[in-house]
Amino acid sequence: MAPQLQSQNQNSPRVLQGDLNALSAPVREFVEANVILCQPDAIHICDGSEEENRSILTQLEEQGMIKKLSKYENCWLARTDPRDVARVESKTVIVTQDQRDTVPSPLGGGASQLGRWMSQEEFDKAMTQRFPGCMKGRTMYVIPYSMGPVGSPLSKIGVELTDSPYVVASMRVMTRMGKAVLSALGTGDFVRCLHSLGCPLPLKQPLVNNWPCNPEQTLIAHVPERRQIISFGSGYGGNSLLGKKCFALRIASRIAKEEGWLAEHMLILGVTDPAGEKKYMAAAFPSACGKTNLAMLCPTLPGWKVECVGDDIAWMKFDQQGNLRAINPENGFFGVAPGTSVKTNPNAMATIVKNTIFTNVAETSDGGVYWEGMDQSLPEGVTLTSWKNKPWSPADGEPCAHPNSRFCTPAGQCPIIDPQWESPEGVPIEAIIFGGRRPEGVPLVYEAFSWQHGVFVGAAMRSEATAAAEHQGKVIMHDPFAMRPFFGYNFGQYLSHWLSMAERSGAKLPKIFHVNWFRKSPAAGFLWPGFGDNIRVLDWMFRRLNGEAGAMPSAVGYLPSRESLNLQGLRGDVDLDELFSLDQEFWQREVEEVRRYFSTQVNDDLPNEVARQLELLQHRVNQM
């Protein structure tokens, strides 16, 4: 007979799978305390097996939460409640004793753009309002998972308790999950993750698309001191797959600060030149800047090869030889579907044809998926059902797939996954790339003058984003290090932490670069072809790392010297003069914009060195 939970409650939940007594004392205490709080009907300790996965998918299908896609092998479609489609920044908080531990105090008061703080008292009250009895009638799944290869010295372990089988199926793709993780954990410490859909049974109101959620009560809270993540009311990926942004960035960045490493919103790629020499690079881009496309690049230069270690998150730590070693803590890709096509990212398209969970994409009548920007015409007679589960035609005037619709797919299926992607010691990073979508003023590529200047470049990152209100057109938003929604602690302290890397004895600091694939000419649209031709920029960086490519100093950094970019075989003309031109008035405005941001948002927490780098930039711009 399965062991029963010992508590005052005589109606203890049934244990459907696993053995509570076999859990380490800290894990068992964590489970038991939350069983008493959330009152599930049953407990299922996940083992990560194929058999378990099949059973979870079957259960989801029976509940109408997912649908099998007959066109592909083991692929599934989920449609969410339209109120639960994305991360909710306004309801995502960090809980610390002192507000300034979480965010800098903005000049003149007001709300910080660099995170949201919640007091311990407010958090306790929010927990009490939400969690008691929230899993009634449901099963609590216990998910032991490793961020990073199991047993790697760079990896960390979490345990997520959830009442969502969709989360179980997705976490099996996105993390290493199950028995092996519990063995590796032993009695060690772990990040405690509690997630509930906030829909106890019986339901008070009918579900939309059979998707349980509680948007009015949604809250995603992080308590760094306790290594704790609490999520309520949302079943959507970024809010419910707590290993992802919640652990791998917000909590991990705080752990990294304490332990002397970096947890970053960065892809990792391996680049091999025609002579067979290989280098690894990490890159941070805000959303809609082609991050996954770069991670899976198909080079247009003959003889070059790009391989993918990760497309979203990098954990980086200096080893004893002074090399900055990086792992991808994830096990899958949770990619935005719209815009992904055979043209923009053939490797992603090849990855997602099996063992993939699609969410909020459109469905074709022949059992396939579809979205905006797929660039494939539908076969004769094939019709579309939109993400809202309604027949769709272009005349509807709205997209068939939600703009934030996703594929959740195993990284190991990527045709160009790097042979070292699961290496326990990580891969050595020689270059860090920052970038954004800047239609004017910012050159295709430049190299920072120093590590300190590179940290400033990351801090000053800005990118074009569509404003939330429709008719405001495009606005340039600050997104420092592409981490703005993901900082786990005060951004000023984060900058100091980055700067401190230069003080490590023997550290081989990577070179830092900034790229902009998106510069436009008023007459001719994009000045640079992008996609596979971005290898030409990586080639210049590669040769810079070897001291081979020419560069000339400019106000913003080192620019490629004439003839140092390999344009051999490039289709169409590229106006290099316009692509690399620096306009003094533009850069004077840029300096003032960055100064305003630093003074209002980072205020007294801005490190002196970053302020000094801004003054140096201003001086160089004035000398132009």
Residue pair 329/255 in contact by the 8 Å Cβ criterion: no
246 catalytic residue (yes or no)? no
For residue 519 the two structure tokens come to 């510069």
Residue pair 66/78 in contact by the 8 Å Cβ criterion: yes
Distances (CA, A) of 6 to 19, 38, 137, 182, 380: 13, 15, 19, 22, 62
Residue with tokens 């495009």: 474
Q: Which residues pair with 317 in a beta bridge?
A: 325
Q: Based on the number of CB atoms within 10 Å of its own CB, is 311 exposed (0-12), middle (13-18) or buried (19 or more)?
A: buried
Catalytic residue among 46, 193, 289, 400: 289
Residue with tokens 């050159």: 443
Picking from 374, 402, 369, the residue whose alpha carbon sits closest to that of residue 388 is 402
Give me the torsion for CA of 515, 411, 349, 519, rounded to 10°: -10
Maximum CA extent, the chain = 80
Q: How far apart are CA 373 and CA 367, in angstroms?
A: 19
For residue 400 the two structure tokens come to 């068939």
- 316: amino acid identity, one letter: M
Distances (CA, A) of 328 to 81, 146, 421: 31, 11, 7
Percent helix / strand / coil, the chain, rounded to 5? 30, 25, 45
**Which of the residues are catalytic?**
289
